[in-house]
């Protein structure tokens, strides 16, 4: 399926500029910069829309992060201000408090805590800087719920949520970002696995299924459908009771 990357790139840049014009004139775009393609492309789009002086990157390793230098290199390449806050002590404090209260953590809770700590920091810094927090998720991840509710699924504006992972790469190339930033193997930074190891299938398979409805492996198709159905709650507004009068 044809994807008009130049056209979409320009539309997103205009959309970001319009969002800030209507929802925070003069505010900064605050971005959690992980070193992955999604946050990199989001930051680059914001630079085009707002100027480098209005983009603020936050690096949030948990202890020692092997690719933290990549995130620093991206911030330098884009000429944007950044700060680094290590979340290890905060995460450990929460984990210890929960477990000391007699609630042993399971893997789901343990993996999701860092993502929610990071989003808390982004909103704290956004409040200080008069900013708007960027959601950096893409359609591929959102489709199968590969995100943390109230963690990396949160944000004030979301430039990439209608684009598959494959399309995000195409936008990155249109922005003339170095290939090493765009093609960096994606991983969640939480479980120690790559995204595709967590999925059990490739982005290529997922993106083709999303855009064309084609998946030649029935087991993978069933898994994608199941993940999509089970995680729809992450992308929907909080259900609320409506009183009948």
pTM over 0.85: yes
170 Cβ neighbours under 8 A, 6+ residues apart: 3, 5
Q: CB–CB of 162/143 below 8 Å? A: no
pLDDT in tens, 9-45: 999 999 999 999 999 889 999 999 999 999 999 999 9
Distance CA 121, CA 157 (A): 17
CATH number listed for the domain at residues 5-235? 3.40.50.620
Backbone angles phi, psi at 133, to 5 degrees: -85, 130
In this predicted structure, which of 51-60, 91-100, 188-197, 227-236 has the lowest mean pLDDT?
Answer: 188-197
* Alpha-helical regions (H) of 33-106: 37-50, 68-78, 88-100
Distance CA 3, CA 135 (A): 22
Residues forming beta bridges with residue 166, ordered by sequence position? none
Residue 35, burial from CB neighbour count under 10 angstroms (0-12, 13-18, 19+): buried
Would you kindly state where each structural domain of the chain is located, as residue ranges?
A: 5-235
Q: Mean pLDDT, the chain, as a whole number?
A: 94
Q: How far is CA 214 from the centre of its chain?
A: 26
Q: Provide the CB-side half-sphere exposure for 156 (13 A, CA).
A: 21
pLDDT in tens, 170-196: 999 999 999 999 998 777 666 667 888
Please give the structure tokens belonging to residue 68: 């933290």
Residues forming beta bridges with residue 149, ordered by sequence position? none
Our separate counts of H helices and E strands in the chain read 11, 4
Q: CB–CB of 119/98 below 8 Å? A: no
Distance CA 31, CA 125 (A): 10
Please give the structure tokens belonging to residue 79: 């000429």
Q: How far is CA 188 from CA 38, 67, 112, 197, in A?
A: 12, 12, 11, 10
211 Cβ neighbours under 8 A, 6+ residues apart: 1, 164
Q: Which residue has tokens 């775009």?
A: 29
pLDDT in tens, 202-231: 999 999 999 999 999 999 999 999 999 999
């Amino acid at each position: 399926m044809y994807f008009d990357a130049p056209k979409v790139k320009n539309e997103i840049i205009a959309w970001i500029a319009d969002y800030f014009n209507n929802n925070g004139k003069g505010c900064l775009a605050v971005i959690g910069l992980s070193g992955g393609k999604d946050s990199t492309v989001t930051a680059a789009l914001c630079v085009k829309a707002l100027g480098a002086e209005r983009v603020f990157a936050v690096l949030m390793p948990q202890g020692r992060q092997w690719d933290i230098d990549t995130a620093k290199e991206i911030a330098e390449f884009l000429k944007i201000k950044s700060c680094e806050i290590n979340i290890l002590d905060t995460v450990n404090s929460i984990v210890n408090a929960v477990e000391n209260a007699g609630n042993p953590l399971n893997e789901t809770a343990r993996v999701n805590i860092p993502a929610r700590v990071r989003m808390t920091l982004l909103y704290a810094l956004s409040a200080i800087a008069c900013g708007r927090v960027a959601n950096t998720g893409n359609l591929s991840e959102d489709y199968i719920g590969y995100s943390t509710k109230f963690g990396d699924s949160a944000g004030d504006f979301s430039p990439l949520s209608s684009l598959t992972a494959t399309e995000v790469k195409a936008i990155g190339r249109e922005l003339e970002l170095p290939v090493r930033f765009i093609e960096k193997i994606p991983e969640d930074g939480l479980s120690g696995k790559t995204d595709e190891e967590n999925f059990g299938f490739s982005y290529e398979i997922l993106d083709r299924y999303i855009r064309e409805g084609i998946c030649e492996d029935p087991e993978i198709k069933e898994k994608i459908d199941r993940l999509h159905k089970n995680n729809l709650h992450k992308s929907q507004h909080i259900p609320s009771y409506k009183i009948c009068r």
